[in-house]
Amino acid sequence: MPQTASSHLAKLQGAGLLAMEKQGRHRYFRLSSPTVAAMLESMQVVCAVDAPRRIRPESRMDRDLRMARSCYDHLAGVLGVSLADALTDRGAVDLAADGGVVTPVGRKILAEFGIDVDQLSQQKRCFCRPCLDWSERRHHIAGALGKGLSDRLFDLGWVERIRDSRVIRVTPEGRRGLKKTFAIDHPA
């Protein structure tokens, strides 16, 4: 029996890794859960460790994705990792392999930034967890807190989404705000 994309997708769906939605005659596949996404990102990092060096030059899109991008509903790339580093360095967030907590100091810092930790913690999802960044091979913040941070940066106009892509652009106002609030020097 020849292997087709449809047969591979059916196997992945049967294993619970993909979910499928039908719209008319089209079928749309997506990862079945954030857990599957985390597993794939972790595998991608492991596979990249012994991967041969890339021969082609890095494209602008590659660079932009590495600098700042969305990872499902939170920030990733250099920006996401820098934000996680800034919060952990200030003692605001403690990240462990299985999750993360906001410290009392962190509650104050996040409240001053406009994030309601109590509201985020009541959501029916993981509150805070480290998410391994495939480009930086370090963690950024996922879960309700990661989404809350992302939403706040968008609300402030510090970041904007590049159309039809996962790339996030930090605005000039965002570079100033990130520097002042979190001591993050994000390149232009």
Domains of the chain: 5-49 (1.10.10.10), 60-182 (no CATH)
Q: Does the global pTM surpass 0.85?
A: no
Provide the 10 A C-beta neighbour count for residue 46: 11
Cα torsion through 59, 86, 122, 99, rounded to 10: 80
- Tokens matching residue 125: 């999802």
pLDDT in tens, 21-60: 776 677 778 888 888 888 888 887 776 666 566 666 778 8
What gap in Å lies between CA 186 and CA 79, rounded to an integer? 7
Q: For the residues 2-12, what does the mean pLDDT come to?
A: 83
Q: For the residues 108-123, what does the mean pLDDT come to?
A: 97
**Phi and psi (nearest 5°) for 4?**
-120, 165
pLDDT in tens, 158-188: 999 999 999 999 999 999 999 999 999 988 7
